[in-house]
Structure 1
């Protein structure tokens, strides 16, 4: 298996200034999986596996979306009850989601069980989960190349020490600028990132900054990259998970120690892929991006950011 993704599968009800949707397919594993599957095809990789839990109400058409993307769903458990649901909205610049309701449902007692064939992937991605669950995943999965962890402000608040323990177990940590500042107690994002990298001995720390791009610390090296300029922003939900899924796919295609240039190229693909997610509600756009459409946007981003198209 090239990439193992462990996270949530959910139904989201979302309102933004440009519309609304109810019970749309969502969840961190879903967004990351569909993003990763797109790049699997682009890069000629083998398999991408999901581990998660859904309720007995999980729709057949949504199973087919995952199957049509040729995702390995053997690690998705179906149990009696309702699937995780989230209700939220966006206003103004839409930089932050406003949560109205969260119903964990069957996800409340999620205990991931990594299938035997997924225990030695090239890359393991622990999506946004309680850090104790992430530690369980890391105990079960021994990736050949990298382990990647995502998190959120809630876990910093209620499971700070466990989160730091999980961060110390992985090769790459992905957080946003607010979370970096919260962990470090600093407003300056670069200073906060360096402090977080040091406190958890993180080989590679990636800090997402929304419309302001991304900063990555790789050892002693620093990468700063802009976002793709989007004029059509409908629903930012899942952008971070899309970013991480693309990152995992790109890094699973390499071999040996990661170079700064490899990371830069992976970040550029992650940034461009996430820019598509903004443009429609839910996972719809990830289900239908064409390789030609993607390459056109990626070439444009390379021109903006100064990345050599030939090397990427």
Structure 2
């Protein structure tokens, strides 16, 4: 079962205490698409400029990602520059150039409109709603958001939340959206806004999943070295949605297994800058780490 992702395809320039990378392939749709492609075919909707190199497109095509919905326009590609602190959970945006992304209106090719699994990346809620209007038979729609949209487009975001099944959000954004400091109360408040499932990303502390009937928590996979956390959240979402689409199992057990696969894929992403680690990754490595993850969290033995 294929997945449609709508989001940013960008250049990222990254500085961390452990090194730096200049104008590497980034953006929410990029990380999501490559991560999900280990399990399911992916169709991508986004916009790039004339300066976007063919070698980056080859990364997508090499993973079998359908690029019919990726438009190239006159101008320059969206570019983000960020600097991480010693605590990699804290970062500063140094530069942000929207370029061709400014004024972008997502238009789905006809072949994309029957997509059943859809991920709305971290973009303007009005764009997210425009995508939903063009879809015909959605089975599962998940979306991401951020503090900027919560603060400045709250009304539009609430409309989107009433239309989706799963919200993927980090802990600080969950508190901001809900007005609740306690993360459990925050999740309960967000569930009342429309989503059936809320996945709260907690960085090095893992992921919490909330629904009306259950709570599930999983740690992050322990790593000796972390170089770049930029795409971890979108890689998690891609691994989660990719495995869920492949299995078709939306039961509580199926969701939990998909969350663990998402966590596993994200754990590889942070081992190098940008998408470098994912481009070298094999499904065999993913499965091996998945088994290690199971052993790590097994308390019955």
The alignment status of 1:202 with 2:195, answered yes or no, reads yes
Match of 2:211 among 215, 218, 230: 218
Structure 2 match to 1:138: 132
Match of 1:275 among 263, 267, 289: 267
Structure 2 match to 1:65: 59
Q: Cα deviations across residues 62-97 of structure 1 (Å, max 9, x unaligned)?
A: 111111111000000000000000000111120122
Structure 2 match to 1:37: 37
TM-score by length of 1: 0.93
Contact 2:163–2:194 (CA under 8 A) maintained in structure 1? no
Aligned partners of 2:58 and 2:243: how far apart in 1? Answer: 25
Give the ranges of 4+ consecutive aligned residues of structure 1 lying more than 3 Å apart after TM superposition.
none
Q: How many residues are matched?
A: 300
Offset of 1:187 from its aligned partner? 1.6
Mind listing any 5+ residue stretches in structure 2 that lack a counterpart? none
Offset of 1:120 from its aligned partner? 1.3
Mind listing any 5+ residue stretches in structure 1 that lack a counterpart? 41-46
Contact 1:145–1:252 (CA under 8 A) maintained in structure 2? no
Structure 2 match to 1:5: 5
The alignment status of 1:176 with 2:142, answered yes or no, reads no
Aligned partners of 1:220 and 1:181: how far apart in 2? Answer: 21
Q: Cα deviations across residues 177-226 of structure 1 (Å, max 9, x unaligned)?
A: 0011111122211111111111x121111111111111111232111111
TM-score by length of 2: 0.96
Structure 1 match to 2:236: 243
Going from structure 1 to structure 2, the CA distance change for 1:161 and 1:296 (only over 3 Å counts) comes to same
Contact 1:7–1:129 (CA under 8 A) maintained in structure 2? yes
For the aligned residue pairs, the C-alpha RMSD in angstroms reads 1.4
Match of 1:292 among 249, 266, 284: 284
The alignment status of 1:263 with 2:255, answered yes or no, reads yes
Offset of 1:297 from its aligned partner? 1.2
SS of the counterpart of 2:167?
strand
Offset of 1:292 from its aligned partner? 2.3
